[in-house]
Amino acid sequence: MSVVTQMIQVPVVLDGVSKRFGRGRGAVAALDRVSLAFPSGSFTAVLGVSGSGKSTLLQCAAGLEQPTAGSVRLCGAELKRLSDRQRTLLRRRHVGFVFQELNLVPELTTEENIALPLRLGRQRVQRAAIENAAARVGLRPGQLRRLPSELSGGQQQRAAIARALVTGPEVIFADEPTGALDPHTADGVMRLLREAAAGTTVVIVTHQPEVTRFCDRAVFLYAGRVEGIVDRPDPVDVAARLHALGARAAQGDFATIGAA
């Protein structure tokens, strides 16, 4: 297998990625030499207690932040060799995002929000395509003309998923997509994401064990390092493991550079 095809089949590769915030004594290592690969079509949850570096991992993998050290390959491109504009275009064409909340531009209607990546790319927006994307996430045509403030939290997340899917991306990054939802609604949104994004590589950052029920793989982060990887995770085991990590964190052995 050639190197090129290997890269394309593994659209997200992190190699020795470190990220520090701040300088000198107050510096914090959010990521510490993390190496991970997310194969094509995989559906992975990245788990960890608060402050473990999971959001930073997502930002670095998606090219929203630049790592302090190490390299990230996204859809075959070495991110640190790309200009800001090239990274933006890469995101627009090949990456979809779903955030915890405030996903949607409040002044745009649901329809306009879903079409946003297409419009930014100056692509012709066909109403049918938008309605189709909306239908895949269970939004009715009548809801498309509403502003985000007129939708429920679950409906807003569905619209966000529709937006993430509308360009037919290779990878979808989701940061706590169900964090602000009740368990029942969260379940629905996850099921939807799993179905709608079939074939797409999905990376979900979460602290909710139930989310892993829909995942192929769970990656555990602790203090900026990969603590373990579990295939076909069981939510009960995941919860137990998270509790254990939480207990360790409570004893205060989080690494702070300079304090050590």
Partner 1 sequence: MRGWMFAGLRRNPGPAVGTLVAAATAAAIAVAGIGVAASSTPSSLGRLAGADVVVAASTQLRVTVGRGDDAQQESVPLPAYAGVPAVLAGQLARVPGVASATGESGFPGGIVRPGMVDLIAVVADRGTSTATLAARIKAELPSDPKQGGTGYTVATGAARGGVADLNNAVESANGHAFGIAVIPVLITTALFALAATTALSVSLRRRRFALLRAVGATRGQIRRAVLAEQALIAVAGGLIGSLPGIALGAMAVRAFVAHGLFPAGTTALSGPWDAGVACGVTLPICLLSGLVAAHRAARTSPARAVKGTHTERTWPSPVRVLLGLAAAAGMVTLDVLALHQNGPGALVALALPSLLCGMAAVALLGPVLVAVVAMAARPLAAAGPSARLALAGIRRMPARTGSAVVAVALAVGLIGAVAFSNTSVAHATVVQSTQTVTADHVLSGGGLTPATLPPSMLTGVERLPGVRAAVGVAPLSIGVTDSDLEFINGEAVSAGPVSDVLNLNVTAGQLSELGPGQIAVSTMEASNGLGAHLGQQVTVYLPDGTPYRATVSALYQRSLAVGDLLIPAAVAAGHTGTPDEYSQILVRGGTQRELAALAAAHPGTQVADRAVYNSEVASNAQQNSFANLVILGIITVLTAVTMINTLVVSTVERRRQVRLLGRVGATRGQLAAGFCWQALFVSVVGVAAGATVCVGTLIGLTRAVTGSSVPFIPAGPALLVVGAVAALAFAATLTPFAVISREKFRQPVSA
Strand 43-47 and strand 201-206: the pairing is: parallel
Q: Of the candidates 37, 64, 129, 257, which one interacts with partner 1 according to CB under 8 A?
A: 64
Give me the amino acid identity at 46.
V
Q: Which residue has the tokens 């979809």?
A: 96
DSSP assignment of 112-166, as one string?
A: HHHHHHHHHTT----HHHHHHHHHHTT--GGGGGS-GGGS-HHHHHHHHHHHHHT
Cα distances (angstroms) measured from residue 139 to each of 111, 129, 131, 221:
10, 13, 8, 34
Nearer to partner 1, 85 or 232 (CB): 85
Sign of the dihedral through C-alpha 13, 15, 18, 19: negative
Q: Of the candidates 24, 106, 199, 252, which one interacts with partner 1 according to CB under 8 A?
A: 106
Does 155 participate in binding partner 1 (rule CB under 8 A)? no
Cα distances (angstroms) measured from residue 179 to each of 56, 78, 117, 126, 182:
17, 31, 24, 32, 8
Q: Which stretch binds partner 1 (CB under 8 A): 34-42, 73-81, 113-121, 217-225?
A: 113-121
Does 93 participate in binding partner 1 (rule CB under 8 A)? yes
Chain positions 169 to 228 lying near partner 1, rule: CB under 8 A, are 175
Q: How far apart are CA 18 and CA 131, in angstroms?
A: 41
E strand or H helix that includes residue 45: strand 43-47
Q: Of the candidates 16, 21, 26, 121, which one interacts with partner 1 according to CB under 8 A?
A: 121
Nearer to partner 1, 116 or 221 (CB): 116
Nearer to partner 1, 114 or 233 (CB): 114
E strand or H helix that includes residue 249: helix 235-250
Does 45 participate in binding partner 1 (rule CB under 8 A)? no
Q: Which stretch binds partner 1 (CB under 8 A): 39-47, 51-59, 190-198, 225-233?
A: 51-59
Structure tokens at 46: 């990245």
Q: Of the candidates 29, 110, 133, 163, which one interacts with partner 1 according to CB under 8 A?
A: 163
Nearer to partner 1, 118 or 241 (CB): 118
Q: Which stretch binds partner 1 (CB under 8 A): 34-42, 69-77, 119-127, 132-140?
A: 119-127
Chain positions 23 to 42 lying near partner 1, rule: CB under 8 A, are none
Residue 64 C-beta: closest distance to partner 1, Å: 4
Q: Which stretch binds partner 1 (CB under 8 A): 24-32, 54-62, 214-222, 235-243?
A: 54-62
E strand or H helix that includes residue 30: strand 28-38
Nearer to partner 1, 170 or 175 (CB): 175
Q: List contacts with partner 1 (CB under 8 A).
A: 55, 58-59, 64-65, 84-85, 88-89, 91-93, 97, 99-103, 105-108, 112, 116-117, 119-122, 147, 163, 175
